[in-house]
Amino acid sequence: MTEKIFCPRFLADHMNGDLARWLRIMGFDCLYPENTLNDKAILEICEKDRRILLTRDKELHSLAIRRGLKSILIRSNTLIEKFREIYSIVNLNKYLDFLKPRCTICNSELKITNPNQLKEETDPPIYRDIKKRHNKIFYCDKCRKIYWEGSHWNNIMETLEEIKNHGKNF
Mean pLDDT of the chain: 86
110-168 confidence digits (pLDDT tens) = 988 777 666 655 555 556 666 677 777 888 889 888 888 877 878 888 888 888 887 66
| CA gap 146, 156 in Å, rounded | 16
Task: Determine the average pLDDT of the residues in 42-46.
Answer: 97
Strand bridging mode 30-31 / 9-12: parallel
Task: Determine the average pLDDT of the residues in 50-61.
Answer: 97
Which CATH code is given to the segment(s) 9-104+151-167?
3.40.50
| CA gap 159, 161 in Å, rounded | 5
CA-derived radius of gyration, the chain:
18
Asked whether the beta carbons of 26 and 99 are under 8 A apart, the reply is yes
Task: Determine the pLDDT at residue 170.
Answer: 53
Pick 122 or 12 by higher pLDDT: 12
Dihedral sign, CA of 135, 95, 24, 81?
negative
Task: Determine the pLDDT at residue 124.
Answer: 58
10 Å CB burial of residue 11 (0-12, 13-18, 19+) is: buried
Q: What is the pTM of this model?
A: 0.84
Task: Determine the pLDDT at residue 1.
Answer: 45
SS3 assignment, position 121? helix
Task: Determine the pLDDT at residue 155.
Answer: 86
Task: Determine the pLDDT at residue 137.
Answer: 81
Q: Partners of 30 in the beta sheet?
A: 10
89-107 confidence digits (pLDDT tens) = 999 988 888 888 999 999 9
Task: Determine the average pLDDT of the residues in 43-47.
Answer: 97
| Beta strands per DSSP E along the chain | 9-12, 30-31, 51-55, 71-73, 111-113, 137-139, 146-147
